[in-house]
Amino acid sequence: MAVAVALAATACSGPADPAASGEPEKVTVWIMKDSVTDAFLDRFRTGFEAEHEAIDLDIQIQEWDGIGEKVTAALASKDAPDVIEVGNTQVAQYAASGGVRDLSDRTAELGGGDWLPGLAEPGKVDGKQYGVPWYGASRVVIYHKDLFARAGVTAPPKTQAEWLAVTAKLNRGRTQGIYLPGQNWYTLSGFIWEEGGDLAVQDGGGTAWKGALDTPQALAGMNFYRQLQALGKGPKDADEAKPPQAEVFAKGDIAQIIAVPGGAKIVEEINPALKGKLGFFPIPGKTAAEPGAVFTGGSDFIVPEASHHPDAAYEVVKALAGEKWQTDMARTMSYVPNRTSLARVIQDDEGTAAMAAGAAQGRATPNSPQWAAVEATNPIKQYMTAVLTGTDPARAAAAASQSITKTLGS
């Protein structure tokens, strides 16, 4: 309670009746650190205030560490900020508090019919749109062009079958076909979605969640992961952070990794000799008609019920989610814009273009308010390691699904 009171006391808001005072409405916007550059925010503030003379923006940068508790306290206060940037998979958790404004009636005006599914779906809870997509990012395949050429591979694969064949061809001698750690569960999620499965599903009444890793579709996704992971020497009991896969890839003897495009810049910083030698392609799907399904991370905007300036807050969200500032942000940050039709604005960047193509098939984790608790213990990682080290997949999947069901029902 003390924390909530302190946060409420420090939150900024404009006067109760700005029209009566003749002063512009001061709209407080919380933006997460490093989401965008200071230069972008300066351009936006200047441009927005020039077009909305009755609104002054107070943009406050927030740290990711501890942000969940801070947002929860703000939503429960009577003096919350007016607009808050949140992770797209966090919307359900905040909406469950009852402190987030329902923007369903504004969706059409905001271009909701064109939003990326992986950003729009997590913002929609029980049929109501609480989160408005801002930007997205998803994984692609980063590959070593010289190793592809040396193996006689002239074009990136476009189907899962081609991908396995190409990777097997690359996996010769001292070259690893792919570096895929055994616990890269975001990548597994995409393979499961591509098969028509899911990590967890709701029952027919839409009230209870249960784990779904033991369905035939999810098991098929895990089987593809197992085949691909075997074409390299990635550890079976670790994720991409242990060791950092950029450092492993930078050694120059690995043909492919799965990462966000920005990972290539980190690799080049570690080993400048690879600069200009790295390419990108979308994660392949079951057919060449479209890329494979991928997890789409990113951010949404929410408007607290306690906002003193909900109409002005909506104008801020509308501007940031609109074509003008989406285009500016995508080109500045190499992000995927929130609309599929805006993929054209980043086509000149090979990595971002590949990411945008994949993001069109993007999905997100189940939008249960308890999903964060699942990730905290992450039985999916344990399940993956069990399968890759010889445990019967069906038995391991059943155990992991039971664990997910228990957590989601807590």
- Buried residues in 219-249 as b, exposed as e (16+ CB within 10 A): bbbbebbbebbbbbbbbbebbbeeeebbebb
At 13 the pLDDT is 40
Give the pLDDT band (50/70/90) at residue 5. Answer: very low
Q: pLDDT digits over 304-330, tens only?
A: 999 999 999 999 999 999 999 999 998
C-beta of residue 401 within 8 angstroms of C-beta of residue 374: no
Q: pLDDT digits over 31-62, tens only?
A: 999 889 899 999 999 999 999 999 999 999 99
Residue 75 has pLDDT above 70, yes or no: yes
Report the percentage of the chain scoring pLDDT > 90: 73
Number of helical H runs and strand E runs in the chain: 18, 14
Nearest to 374 by CA among 218, 244, 241, 212: 212
Angstrom distances, CA of residue 310 to CA of 83, 103, 295, 315, 380: 9, 11, 31, 9, 40
At 356 the pLDDT is 87
Angstrom distances, CA of residue 167 to CA of 79, 164, 346: 55, 5, 28
Q: pLDDT digits over 207-248, tens only?
A: 799 999 999 999 999 999 999 999 999 999 999 988 999 999
Q: Which of these ranges, 198-207, 333-342, 375-384, 401-410, has the smallest mean pLDDT?
A: 198-207
The pTM of the whole model exceeds 0.75: yes
> What are the structure tokens assigned to 28, written together?
């407080």
Residues 84, 80: Cα–Cα separation, whole Å = 9
Mean pLDDT, the chain, as a whole number?
91
Q: Which residue carries 């909305």 as its tokens?
A: 52
> What are the structure tokens assigned to 187, written together?
């990548």
What is the DSSP pairing of strand 256-259 with strand 83-87?
Answer: unpaired
> What are the structure tokens assigned to 135, written together?
């930007």
At 20 the pLDDT is 52
Give the pLDDT band (50/70/90) at residue 262. Answer: confident
C-beta of residue 261 within 8 angstroms of C-beta of residue 355: yes
